[in-house]
Amino acid sequence: MTFESSPVRTDWTRDEIAALFDLPFTELVFRAAEVHRANHPANQVQRSTLLSIKTGGCPEDCGYCSQSAHADTGLKATKLMDPRAVLQAAAQAKDHGSTRFCMGAAWRNPKDRDMPAIVEMVKGVRAMGMETCMTLGMLTDAQAKTLADAGLDYYNHNIDTSPERYGEVITTRSFEERLETLEHVREAGINVCCGGIVGMGETRGDRVGFIHALATLPVHPGSVPVNALVPVKGTVLGDMLADTPLAMIDDIEFVRTVAVARITMPRSMVRLSAGRESMSDATQALCFLAGANSIFTGDKLLTAGNAGDDKDAALFARLGITPMAAECKVELEAAE
């Protein structure tokens, strides 16, 4: 299904985005709902499943992540999974109604020796008729092309937060390196999945900067995951927030962030990701009203808990939401 009705702008200014955040709450959600309805089926939500194909021991120092070797979370590092086990998990996800299978590895970047197994996973999942997404860290130009040739549909690479805040959250790589990998992915012809995390103790100004960075990319990401930090003891941010719980984002501000993402990136899929497990049904319903139209299903999100299939099915039934079929996804076009 292709929708033509909303112009796609990549020239948003920070002031415009700040003004959206400042709108009265119901006005903001109303506008976001209008944009949502003009560009997507209003009561359909895409379901994706995320599998950790290589857990823990990551050399990066992302302050929110339990998989970082710099964190003290007791998480046991594993090797890259056997492609056959990955395909088994994908088949199960398909049986549970997922239309996209996302595979994540806790790496700074994949080694070339890992690529044959990765390619096997992509080809195998695609052969099941599901969309594929990978998140493997930074990619070279050549690795992006290899993944494109294997038929990878999406590559996830989050910018995490605003460019200004980035260095306070991660020191082992730069915001510019993130943008470089996104460019390699785009140039290889793979759809970009890119979002970040709110509730990391950032300011409203950082949330403005975060959405601004996404909405002014040369092409909007096809998927925009909006995560709420799940504080994990032993990580820098988890420990910090345990001492200052007021720094955590409140539900209204989270819904505002979803609404602003929807308005500024009208054709993207806006995905509720980590943090959904602890959200009330009412908050999730507000997020759907504000334009979120994709969720992760299953009991686990990499190493964090998730809402679980039964709970989601009950919520969908109460809200009259139907799962989005794979062919219903919006075709993104380059921004005019």
Shortest Cβ 7–ligand SF4 spacing (Å): 34
Report how far residue 227's alpha carbon sits from residue 160's, in angstroms, rounded to the nearest whole number: 9
Is 67 near ligand SF4 (CB under 6 A)?
Answer: yes
Restricting to residues 131-160, which ones interact with ligand SF4 according to CB under 6 A? 137
Report how far residue 206's alpha carbon sits from residue 269's, in angstroms, rounded to the nearest whole number: 22
Of the candidates 178, 193, 256, 267, the residue annotated as catalytic is 193
Q: Is 102 annotated as a binding residue?
A: yes
CA angle 61, 67, 69 (to 5 degrees): 55
Question: What is the pattern of x (binds ligand SF4, CB under 6 A) and - over residues 103-122?
Answer: ---x----------------
Shortest Cβ 307–ligand SF4 spacing (Å): 21
Give the CA distances from residue 228 to residues 113, 268, 278, 314, 318, in Å, rounded to whole numbers and listed in that order.
34, 19, 10, 22, 23
> Residue 160 carries which side chain, given as an amino acid letter?
D
Q: Pull the structure tokens for residue 146.
A: 């290899």
Q: Is 194 annotated as a binding residue?
A: no
- Neighbouring CB atoms inside 10 A of 117's CB total 16
Report how far residue 177's alpha carbon sits from residue 174's, in angstroms, rounded to the nearest whole number: 5
* Residue number with CB closer to ligand SF4 (65 or 287): 65
Known catalytic residue: 65? yes
Shortest Cβ 125–ligand SF4 spacing (Å): 21
* Residue number with CB closer to ligand SF4 (63 or 83): 63
First-last CA distance in the chain: 19
| Total residues interacting with ligand SF4, rule: CB under 6 A | 8
Of the candidates 31, 47, 100, 133, the residue annotated as catalytic is 133
The separation between CA 14 and the C-alpha centre of its own chain, rounded to angstroms, equals 22
Binding residues for [4Fe-4S] cluster: 58, 62, 65
Residues belonging to the binding site for [2Fe-2S] cluster are 102, 133, 193, 271
Residues annotated as binding site?
Answer: 58, 62, 65, 102, 133, 193, 271
Active-site annotation, residues: 58, 62, 65, 102, 133, 193, 271
